[in-house]
């Protein structure tokens, strides 16, 4: 997946973000102040920066001005939710702007959107004997194409984005098919059963008691 | 009606009425005096002429001549012709018989024996009186034209109207200038009041005077200063409160975000024991942070309502305690 730099001075928040990034399979670097950022950018190839606005020393907006010519996508994370601040952020070239307190699923979704926009070719994901090519919207098992309906592929995509995180049936419904989709949560169960059967993922897609479903994958890629 | 308009009108009317009344009274008095003088003069002259005639008649008598009607006529005519040049007409009566009539438009009189004067419609002054004894039966009527007096009075009246017509507007103009000048401080005060009412609290009245207006302006400025100070204090207080609320929002958001996030993480993520401990540890410490924040807020609100207790404190100890508190944070960075 992607390499993400998290610039956040509050250790709990920084941990929270990076732990979740790790869950869904991203690589990450931590920075606790704006000063550390240029060195890390020089050393590493970073796909996305999550940047807190209120930082000790060098604040997020000033840092943004310094690094905007590197053309790395940036999502601002801030407690300031005034319109003026948001406009200032977007004018500096931010790709998105997320306000504390945020839900981690929302942050992951936004990260996904920004990454999909910025990286032209998306690499295929290989899990066990299954290969998923997001760009082609194709899934292969043991080299053979698996016939998935559009709904099933969308559900698989959401599970992959939020891997290792349990998602409720309602959340899956919303994330995969949108708010407007008029279906019952049972529809989710039906599609999950189909995915398990077609991909042989009875063990991978876990039913979590009282919560929903979770696509479980081994730790670091 | 504006104050200056009212003042202008009232003062103008009062002034003109007072002026006109006194002028009219003076004119009236002067008319009376003139009239009296004329009357005095008339009766004097009448007496003088009567005496002269009497002297003449006496001397004629002493020469042994009888005073007959034609003699009387001659004597009267000689005087009448002389005085006619001065617009004075004479009549001589012998009892009820007119002996000599020097007046062209005559026909009226008259006296019942005693000297009396009266004014006539054609503005003549008529004085009649008997000659001294033994000519009591002879009566001299003296008639003098006083048209001149009336003409001059009329002239005076006309002049009075002219003066009124000219002086009225001039007076009104001068009063206007004067009153506008006097009420200028009022307008200035009014303008400043409007400016301040419009929210511009640092406006002041620039009025350096030693009169009541100056005093008013000074007091007004003092009031404006007090208002401005209060407004500034209030807005500073409001700003401070806003800052506190903003900071509080930020201070609350950070722990809330991590607590919410870690709780969700614990609830739904597929994680190892080590990660579980890290996450729950963060939730624990963030809860403590929120608790501290709540207590600090409580302290703050208590402090606001109570006077601050002052105690002596060593600065060194204070620094030491700060160092102890922050050492851990500094090492982490």
A187 near B CB under 8 A: no
pLDDT in tens, B118-147: 554 567 788 888 888 778 888 888 888 888
The residue with tokens 């201070």 is B251
Answer yes or no: are the C-beta atoms of B271 and B277 closer than 8 Å: no
Q: What ipTM, to 2 d.p.?
A: 0.79
B288 near A CB under 8 A: no
Average pLDDT over residues B51-65: 86
Query: What is the overall mean pLDDT for chain A?
Result: 85
A32 near B CB under 8 A: yes
A32, A129, A165, A167, B304 from A171: Cα distances, Å: 32, 28, 12, 6, 47
pLDDT at B310: 81
Q: Residues with Cβ < 8 Å from A65, sequence gap 6 or more? A: A92
Q: Residues with Cβ < 8 Å from B46, sequence gap 6 or more? A: B115, B127, B128, B129, B140, B142
Q: Which range among A13-22, A160-169, B250-259 has the greatest average pLDDT?
A: A13-22
Contacts of B276 in chain A (CB under 8 A): none
B330 near A CB under 8 A: no
Write B228-234 long-range contacts (CB < 8 A, 24+).
Answer: B228/B201, B228/B202, B231/B201, B232/B201
Answer yes or no: are the C-beta atoms of A216 and A24 closer than 8 Å: no
Measured between CB atoms, which of B254, B271, B286 is closest to A79? Answer: B254
The pLDDT confidence band at residue B60, using thresholds 50, 70 and 90, is confident
The pLDDT confidence band at residue B333, using thresholds 50, 70 and 90, is low
The pLDDT confidence band at residue B72, using thresholds 50, 70 and 90, is confident
pLDDT in tens, B251-310: 788 888 889 899 988 988 888 888 899 899 999 999 998 998 888 888 877 777 777 778
CA dihedral sign, ordered A72, A75, A76, A78? negative
Average pLDDT over residues A42-71: 88
pLDDT at A220: 41
The pLDDT confidence band at residue B162, using thresholds 50, 70 and 90, is very high
Measured between CB atoms, which of A12, A32, A165 is closest to B269? Answer: A165
Q: How many CB atoms lie within 10 A of CB A50?
A: 27
Query: Most B CBs within 10 Å: which of A15, A85, A161, as the mutation test of the B interface?
Result: A15
B258 near A CB under 8 A: yes
Q: How many CB atoms lie within 10 A of CB B262?
A: 27
Answer yes or no: are the C-beta atoms of A28 and A71 closer than 8 Å: no
Answer yes or no: are the C-beta atoms of A194 and A186 closer than 8 Å: no
Query: What is the overall mean pLDDT for chain B?
Result: 84
- Classified as helix, coil or strand, A202 is coil
> CA B54 to CA B9: how far, in whole Å?
66
Contacts of B277 in chain A (CB under 8 A): none
A48, A174, B16 from A2: Cα distances, Å: 8, 25, 102
- Classified as helix, coil or strand, B123 is coil
pLDDT at B107: 44
Q: Hey, are the CB atoms on B253 and A19 less than 8 Å from each other?
A: no
Q: Is the full-model pTM beyond 0.95?
A: no
Tokens read off for A101: 């307190």
Q: Residues with Cβ < 8 Å from B104, sequence gap 6 or more? A: B89
Of B59, B13, B24, the residue nearest B161 (C-alpha): B24
């Amino acid at each position: 997946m992607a390499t993400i730099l998290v610039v956040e001075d509050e250790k709990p928040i920084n941990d929270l973000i990076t732990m979740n990034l790790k869950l869904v399979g991203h690589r990450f670097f931590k920075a606790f102040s704006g000063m550390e950022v240029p060195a890390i950018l020089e050393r590493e190839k970073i796909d996305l920066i999550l940047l807190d606005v209120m930082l000790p020393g060098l604040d997020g907006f000033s840092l943004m001005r310094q690094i905007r010519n590197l053309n790395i996508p940036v999502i601002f994370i801030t407690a300031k939710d005034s319109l003026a601040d948001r406009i200032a952020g977007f004018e500096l070239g931010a790709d998105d702007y997320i306000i504390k307190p945020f839900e981690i699923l929302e942050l992951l979704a936004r990260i996904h959107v920004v990454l999909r926009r910025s990286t032209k070719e998306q690499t295929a994901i290989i899990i066990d004997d299954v290969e998923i090519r997001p760009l082609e919207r194709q899934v292969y098992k043991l080299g053979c194409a698996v016939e998935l309906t559009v709904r099933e592929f969308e559900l698989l995509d959401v599970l992959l984005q939020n891997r290792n995180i349990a998602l409720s049936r309602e959340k899956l419904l919303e994330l995969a098919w949108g708010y407007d989709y008029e279906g019952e949560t049972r529809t989710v169960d039906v599609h999950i059963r189909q995915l398990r059967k077609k991909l042989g993922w009875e063990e991978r897609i876990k039913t979590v008691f009282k919560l929903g479903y979770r696509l479980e994958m081994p730790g670091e890629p | 009606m504006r104050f200056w308009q009212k003042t202008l009108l009232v003062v103008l009317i009062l002034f003109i009425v007072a002026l006109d009344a006194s002028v009219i009274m003076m004119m009236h008095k002067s008319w009376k005096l003139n009239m009296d003088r004329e009357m005095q003069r008339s009766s004097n002259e009448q007496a003088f002429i009567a005496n002269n005639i009497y002297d003449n008649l006496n001397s004629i008598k002493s020469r042994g001549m009888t005073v007959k009607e034609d003699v009387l006529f001659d004597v009267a005519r000689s005087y009448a012709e002389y005085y006619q040049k001065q617009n004075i007409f004479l009549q001589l009566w012998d009892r009820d018989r007119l002996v000599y009539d020097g007046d062209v438009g005559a026909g009226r009189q008259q006296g019942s024996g005693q000297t009396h004067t009266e004014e006539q419609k054609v503005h003549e002054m008529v004085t009649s009186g008997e000659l001294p004894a033994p000519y009591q039966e002879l009566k001299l009527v003296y008639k003098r034209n006083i048209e001149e007096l009336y003409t001059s009075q009329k002239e005076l009246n006309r002049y009075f109207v002219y003066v009124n017509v000219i002086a009225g507007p001039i007076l009104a103009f001068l009063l206007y200038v004067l009153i506008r000048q006097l009420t200028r401080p009022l307008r200035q005060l009014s303008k400043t009041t409007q400016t301040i009412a419009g929210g511009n609290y640092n406006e002041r009245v620039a009025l350096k005077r030693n009169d009541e207006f100056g005093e008013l302006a000074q007091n007004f400025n003092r009031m404006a200063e007090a208002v401005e100070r209060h407004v500034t204090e209030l807005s500073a207080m409001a700003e401070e409160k806003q800052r506190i609320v903003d900071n509080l929002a930020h201070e609350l958001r950070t722990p809330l975000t991590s607590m919410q996030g870690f709780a969700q993480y614990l609830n739904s993520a597929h994680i190892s024991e080590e990660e579980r401990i890290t996450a729950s540890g963060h939730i624990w410490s963030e809860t403590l942070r929120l608790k501290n924040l709540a207590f600090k807020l409580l302290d703050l609100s208590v402090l606001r309502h109570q006077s601050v207790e002052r105690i002596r404190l060593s600065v060194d100890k204070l620094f030491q305690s700060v160092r102890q508190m922050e050492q851990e944070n500094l090492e982490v960075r």
